[in-house]
Amino acid sequence: MLRKAIAFAALGLFLTAGPVLAGTTEKEPQNVHWSFEGPFGKFDTAQVQRGYKVYREVCSACHAMEQMYFRNLGQKGGPFYDPEFKNPNDNPYVKSLAKDIQVKDIDSDTGDVIQRAAGTADRFPSPFPNEPAARASNGGALPPDLSVIVKAREGGPQYIYSLLTGFRNPPAGLTLGAGLHYNPWFPGDLSSSWSGAHDKVPEGGAIAMAPPLAAGKVTFDDKSPSTVEQQAKDVVAFLAWASDPKATERKQFGVGAMIYLLIFSVLLWFSYRRVWRNIGH
Amino acid sequence: MSGHSTYEPKSGFERWLDVRLPILRFANDTVVTFPTPKNLNYWYTFGGILALMLGIQIVTGIVLAMHYVPHIDMAFNSVQRIKRDVNYGWLIQGMHANGASMFFLAVYVHMFRGLYYGSYKAPREVLWLLGCVIYLLMIITGFFGYVLPWGQMSFHGAVVITNLIGALPIVGPAITTWLWGGFAVDDATLNRFFSLHYLLPFVIAGVVALHIWALHVPGNSNPKGVEVKSDADTVPFHPYYTVKDGFAISVFLLLYASFVFFAPDILGDAVNYVKANPLVTPAHIVPEWYLLPFYAILRAVPDKLLGVLTMGGAIACLFVLPWLDTSKVRSMRYRPAIRLWYFIFFVVCIILGFCGAHAPDDQLIRGVAGMQIGDANINSFVWLSRFATLYYFAYFLVITPLIGLTETPLPVPESISEPILSHPAAMPAGAAASPEMRG
């Protein structure tokens, strides 16, 4: 019975995972192992810290993270959590990270728009004042907000990693417009830019984002090698944490809840057997 | 609610209350001493599971409504804020979103159980009708709820579904405008959907009360499909079914918790984590898994109005089922002629779900281009859903009435506690063929 129920639920999963877009193609994401996978997975703090640096020094030039506040970096489960400072707003390291960034504010005396150093209660500032400005600076394309990007893409962390490391020289016969870059992992339909055989249209799409990462672009404080793969892995870990900052707490709570329910079910099973012992049915 | 009350007030206060408002007597007769057939199996525990799910949805929903902001510019962020900053918001939101899926999973098991054991037959037609009303209200409530996070799928799903109503002649466009509160899905739409999403669960709770009332007048059906004849056939609801339902609920909660804690987004669509943008249509608009079969039926028909009517008809079939079934025998345990058709019907519903998840023109078998008949490519999900839709309706409108008239059912036991007396040889066959685990 239960097996059937589970199978039915699993089927539900399968149905939602099913859709394939007609005309659009992309490569299957690479299979990368993450420390935060599975019911017991946890974020690798050092990796998420490095990932924050990659976001701050590279991605944040174009991508906003409007759900994120600096205080989130120092909250429990966050990359810069310090048990000495339960309130992340007191965490001196988080304060100093915030102070490096300028945010817009209103001068309360004059009403003028001013720039000031960010505090822990400030949101991550957006690189562009509005959507048209963002599009104007990026050849008409809108850099998506990265707050929940790992949840907002089919394939999650594997997809983002594959995309970041997946820029390739376009194959002969593929002519892309100015400001577009070939990436086999980016979902798209390249048939209109393809001059080769009809049944050999390359997988993937044309993305307006130029290859963002390069070897040595970010210097990691812990002497990790600054390869494209390392940068990509680290920033994906950071984005995965930012997309679901309560993931570790949720899983730990879940293990307790499952054990509780399991014991409760066993007790109820024996109670059931005992209550029904004299009933022929 | 029916029959003789055995409640005896024990204290002075209970005696005092009993002549003024016999609410304790009512509770006692309803959930303590209520005589329940003793042969109910685990398929019958889903009623209790559903009552619990309704409770969970209402309680988590009330808390969510304290933090949610029904405004197109803020709804998406407010849901994120609930998950990030509200104390245990991730848990409450996760329970609510996955609770909807679990609610539908349970209601489908409950409905297929009712179909198999003929629970809709006299004298339980009103009970069944009320159940259909609850299911319909659940669909509407679930749809309104899915719109609230205001992601891409929320918005474009709302556009697609509300436009369907516009296909109705004469009144359609007016109803659509009225639903929208304007001329497009916008802030007014979100506001009224939020209001209705808060209202309808209480309507459901009211109909559930009627459903339980209608259950307690004729009493439960049971896997043998024979009515209760004597006290030997029944046990009091408490403790026998409180403990059995309790065990089933606990196991069901294990499944529910595994989604909430370890895969909270797996039943949803990644696209709904992108804020709604009316100018960008997702490549593939699909409803949540529990509505996919109806979505497939809708798309199986090339004409929009006929598609909407067919989809409505698919639900309408459930309402008229008690009068379509001509069989004198209630439980399919003793109706071998229809059992196979029933299991095909179950598989067809699953197939319709698959069809709903795929684009209509997707190839069923990848890389096989042929199977062209005229201008129709049979190797496509739309054609599969057409055949499946045909079977869906045939099951209700042709198979069920015909088999009831032509079948030769197995001998039915005299009573719940007695085995078959007149045909001892038929007993093992009937028992072996019953697919369910005996509780």
Note the pLDDT tens digit of each residue in B99-140.
999 999 999 999 999 999 999 999 999 999 999 999 999 999
Smallest CA-to-CA distance from B224 within B413, B400, B425 is with: B413
Residue A239, phi then psi, degrees to nearest 5: -65, -35
Chain B CB contacts of A151 below 8 Å: 265, 270, 273
Q: What is the model's pLDDT at position B204?
A: 98
A121, A55 Cβ separation under 8 angstroms? no
Indicate whether B362 pLDDT > 90: no
Per the prediction, chain A carries an average pLDDT of 91
Cβ neighbours of A127 (radius 10 Å): 15
Who among B254, B286, B292 is closest to A258 (CB)? Answer: B254
Q: What is the model's pLDDT at position A279?
A: 86
Angstrom distance (rounded) from CA B28 to CA B22: 10
B106, B45 Cβ separation under 8 angstroms? no
Place A281 in a pLDDT band, splitting at 50, 70 and 90. Answer: low
Asked, as a colleague might, if the bond just before B409 is cis with ω within 30 of 0, I would say no
B57, B142 Cβ separation under 8 angstroms? no
- Whether B91 sits inside 8 A of A281 (CB atoms) is no
Q: What is the mean pLDDT of residues A42-69?
A: 97
Torsion angle in degrees (nearest 10) through CA of A39, A44, A50, A51: 0
- Whether B94 sits inside 8 A of A250 (CB atoms) is yes
Percentage above 70 pLDDT, chain B: 93
Q: What is the mean pLDDT of residues A134-140?
A: 94
> What is the CATH number that goes with domain B35-285?
1.20.810.10
Indicate whether B338 pLDDT > 90: yes
Smallest CA-to-CA distance from B46 within B194, B209, B252, B343 is with: B252
Two tokens, residue B437: 């685990």
B167, B251 Cβ separation under 8 angstroms? no
Q: Where are the domains of chain A?
A: 24-42+145-259
Indicate whether B431 pLDDT > 50: no
CATH among 3.40.50.2000, 3.40.630.10, 3.30.230.10, 1.10.760.10 for A24-42+145-259: 1.10.760.10
Burial class of residue B336, CB neighbours in 10 A (0-12, 13-18, 19+): middle
Indicate whether A15 pLDDT > 50: no
Chain A CB contacts of B105 below 8 Å: 5, 8-9, 12
Q: Each residue of A63-98: pLDDT tens digit?
A: 999 999 999 999 999 999 999 999 999 999 999 999
B371, B378 Cβ separation under 8 angstroms? yes
Q: What is the mean pLDDT of residues A202-224?
A: 94
Who among A21, A152, A153 is closest to B283 (CB)? Answer: A21
A56, A99 Cβ separation under 8 angstroms? no
Cβ neighbours of A186 (radius 10 Å): 22
Q: What is the mean pLDDT of residues B372-397?
A: 90
Angstrom distance (rounded) from CA B243 to CA B145: 33
Collapsing DSSP to helix, strand or coil, A181 comes out as strand
Q: What is the model's pLDDT at position A17?
A: 40
Percentage above 90 pLDDT, chain B: 87
Two tokens, residue B254: 């294990």
Q: Where are the domains of chain B?
A: 1-33, 35-285, 299-413
Who among B240, B251, B269 is closest to A16 (CB)? Answer: B269
Which residue of chain A comes nearest to B354, CA vs CA?
Answer: A15
The β-bridge relationship of strands A205-207 and A181-183 is antiparallel
Q: Each residue of B30-39: pLDDT tens digit?
A: 999 999 999 9
Q: Each residue of B277-318: pLDDT tens digit?
A: 999 999 889 999 999 999 999 999 999 999 999 999 999 999
From residue A188, how far is each of A24, A202, B364 by CA, in Å? 5, 10, 22
Chain B CB contacts of A269 below 8 Å: 247
Per the prediction, chain B carries an average pLDDT of 92
